[in-house]
Chains A and B, each alone.
Chain A
Amino acid sequence: MTHLPFIVASYGITLITIIVLSVGAIRRLRRARAQLASLEKITHQS
């Protein structure tokens, strides 16, 4: 019985989870920054 599928699955699931968490955090941060910048612009104009 080859153990390769278990090794590949372990590394694959770990890397996918890390990538999903990282990309999610980066996108959330960028969205919040952009929203805050546009809100502050509106506040300064009014």
Chain B
Amino acid sequence: MTRSLLPPRSSSTLQGNVFSRFFHYYANPGRFLHMGTRVQPYLTYSALFFTFIGLVWGLFFSPPDWQQGDTVRIMYVHVPTAILASSGYAALALCGLFSLVWQHPLANLAAAEIGPVGACATALCLVTGSLWGKPMWGTYWVWDARLTSVLILFFLYLGHISLIHAFEDQQHGYQAAAILALAGVIDLPIIKFSVDWWNTLHQPDSITLTKAPTISSSMLWPLAFSMVGFFLGFCAIVLARLRAAILERRIRNLLFPSHHQPFNSR
């Protein structure tokens, strides 16, 4: 019989709604590892499936744009990486909040593993955006509000990674990085609304939560597959890195018992 991944309802230590029960239950690194091992293959294979379908559909079977021609196909990698860059940073800030307020044992490790992957997504967003900009705008880079705010996001990611490794006592590094992650959240609405607030070279969003998409469904579907695939891939890579980080912490604790480092030490 397989065990459910949901926490037991009857446990007296677990109070509150499903969300908080889930986070408290999986605060235990052993339980999280067990859950991660079971979830990893589903996450990985579904990410491969969606990404493959999205990219092949976008590259070979979606129609060219009436204005941009085939260059619009860069959208199928640029938009998912742009969404990952922002949502990855939101996850980083959430980890910071969980670490500073609730001292969640895995929040610091998760933030340390999300940071480099989010920085790569942001770098990809900037590079693919530049490669899209050159044939369309005639230049790789302009100091446009959208581009500049995403560049700031990239620097925030780099700052977060650097702060984690900047202190001799790693807990101080985690704490400083968590504060930076929370302060940097201000950049996310600036990125989102920069195209509305300022007159930018970057086009306004084609997909929003409040309005109908302004792109054809023949382009929207491959883009949706690509976005889901990239999101699942991001989760799969972060999960694998986090599982490795938990095991590495166990190894350090076994090798150097005198320097035993609990997951939420302060």
Contacts and interface: CB of A to CB of B under 8 A. Distances in A.
A45 to B, nearest CB: 13
B182 interface: no
B247 interface: yes
B73 interface: yes
Task: Give the contact-size bracket for chain A.
Answer: 20 to 34
Majority-rule SS of B interface residues: helix
Contact of B237 (A25, A32, A39, A43): A25
B90 to A, nearest CB: 19
B74 A39 contact: no
B134 A6 contact: yes
Contacts of B108: none
B127 interface: yes
Given A18-B233, A28-B241, A33 B74 contact: no
B117 A21 contact: yes
Interface string B75-108: 0011001000000000000000000000000000
Task: Give the contact-size bracket for chain B.
Answer: 20 to 34
A32 B247 contact: yes
6 contacts: A10-B128, A14-B124, A18-B233, A29-B243, A32-B251, A33-B247
Contacts of B135: 1, 3, 6
Interface string B233-257: 1001100110110011011001100
Contacts, number: 78
Interface in B17-42: none
Contacts of B123: 17
A17 B62 CA distance: 24
A29 to B, nearest CB: 4
A21 B238 CA distance: 10
Contacts of A4: 70
Given A14-B81, A28-B244, A29-B244, A6 B71 contact: yes
B124 A22 contact: no
A24 B121 CA distance: 15
A17 B121 CA distance: 9
A25 B248 CA distance: 13
Residue in B59, B236, B240 whose Cβ sees the most chain A Cβ within 10 Å: B240
